[in-house]
A and B are shown apart, each in its own frame.
Chain A
């Protein structure tokens, strides 16, 4: 590999790499605003200027190719002087908005002003004023005064979202961003621009002013909006999810996630219609019951049916651990092979970027587990049919709203004698149930999911429940979480009485006389890995933060 000298040390680079890329691979970050590793090079912010020996002037590291024998200085006197000057230029017309700006705390301009700025302004003239609250699209809010004209957002729309919507207009210090005439910034990935905008010029309307970034904890998890399983961080304050942001994973989602995933996949966790504590039907009405009471109610009802009359529905919304426990319960406690799950395809959802038509996050995992562990004798449609003609009288449903938008299934379900459900929220299906167990939502439990591509990834709890303690269970903690007491209103966030479905099923098995003792999801995974070939040799550590590919070839990958 060719080499060049960076700050006195010889480092290797791949031919074709620019100085900024080679330095980054070596672990040295050259300051930059407009350069982004997965966008084209624009070279307009000039903050990455570095000194290259034998070149007459400083060069920008983002567009200068590294070459054999080059001698580069990123911290020399000339470089620092140039960087300070560029910072001073950028700050000339930048408003003093930090107190009201959502970006504060994660703002590149703020950081660099601390690191590379001179600390005071020599500019006493009136700053240029521009529009402050411009809605560019359904989710993105633009503040023209804060924009430093780096063009990242423009390049994102063109190159990643493949939908050119933004452009610069005017010149000099009047330059600003607008959407093309008649256009809106409404591509399904628009909110990624709020992440890459190095300042607070583009902000997320959904999250606007909800919290300061330093008040929240961030938990590494995955999006459950479709079978892509984009890597995300879940931001929580006072036990409430406030926003999701994408997390870099080159094999799954790169730096991005879609707006649907970001906006629509967490509100049900905070919603008021959460099932809070087990519910049992008495005199036609679902009433709250204790856990033991609900377990024994469910078991005594289940025992009154023959094993041929009982069927199970797992869920591609639930984790592998949950589905595995359900399969195990069906096989070894009940002795039934009637297990299936409901697939959800939305032909209008997918695209060539990230979104997939298969809108359930764990379809592949559920399929693998059911097929290789149980070899079901009846699938989803078969089970519905058997219920319809009276062969199946009892159904156990895990985390699935079967009756949503489907009155046909709703009618079939009314024919059942017994319906037991683990559900996150009350819905049309729970309205028909005899026993409802409160299931922990994806953000309240540990577990794994397999995306469309066969990459198995981890979910981690970000929201505490009654039995999941932030400190004791090693969840991410903000400063407020660390020091709050139950007398502080800002630490009294609602904790629901919900448990992971696998836990509920294991407890049911124990009540039925078959001891299943797992103290954590990891133990369930261990057993699953030992009994299903595809997962052999895997454990939570090997899956890690960015997932790992399982030994499985997905049949003709669907969109």
Chain B
């Protein structure tokens, strides 16, 4: 058997530990009086910058209608097959609207492709990262959960216009 050797032989002071403990405690006491970096989540919430990719949401215009025209491109591009869109016909000028729009949040990987491909700026990544479910059905978000008023999404939309 080969003889196992330490990488570094400890000297006497290191072997008795006491100076090392003192050094460690000194650091602890010093840090106690410095400003804090951690957050007390969930009492205190983290508000991400506009570049953050939280759950994808649908843009709701001021008149309450969705922007989406149900073209299905987000559904096609989604690498995780999270999105299902069923188009329907409407009398409005845009002709087409999503009769059903569902994102399976268990499938979504927050890649942002849907946002990137959308020709209507109708689906964007939000700042919402709080996603927890107790069963699979709850994880499928329909239009009710997905539609978010455009005024709450302006930060992200401006970010996209600048960088996309």
Chain A interface (Cβ within 8 Å of chain B)?
98-100, 104, 132-133, 208-212, 214-215, 480, 483-484, 487-490
Contacts and interface: CB of A to CB of B under 8 A. Distances in A.
Given A100-B95, A100-B96, A209 B72 contact: no
Interface stretch (B26-34, B82-90, B124-132): B82-90
B6 interface: no
Most buried by B among A100, A104, A208: A100
Given A209-B96, A489-B140, A99 B81 contact: no
Contact of A99 (B71, B136, B140): B71
A104 B71 CA distance: 9
Contacts, number: 42
Contacts of A208: 89
Contact of A489 (B69, B84, B87, B94): B84
B102 A489 contact: yes
Interface string B86-116: 0111000011100000101000000000000
Main secondary structure on chain A at its contact with chain B? loop
Contact of B89 (A209, A480, A489): A209
Contact of A490 (B70, B76, B84): B84
Contact of B88 (A209, A215, A483): A209
A99 B74 CA distance: 11
A332 B140 CA distance: 56
Interface residues of B, number: 21
Contacts of B120: 99
Given A212-B72, A487-B136, 7 more contacts: A99-B96, A100-B95, A132-B95, A209-B87, A209-B88, A209-B96, A489-B84
B71 A100 contact: yes
A164 to B, nearest CB: 30
28 contacts: A98-B71, A99-B69, A99-B71, A99-B73, A99-B96, A99-B120, A100-B69, A100-B71, A100-B96, A104-B71, A132-B95, A209-B70, A209-B87, A209-B89, A209-B96, A210-B87, A211-B87, A212-B76, A214-B76, A215-B75, A480-B81, A483-B81, A484-B81, A487-B136, A488-B84, A489-B102, A489-B140, A490-B84
B105 to A, nearest CB: 12
B119 interface: yes
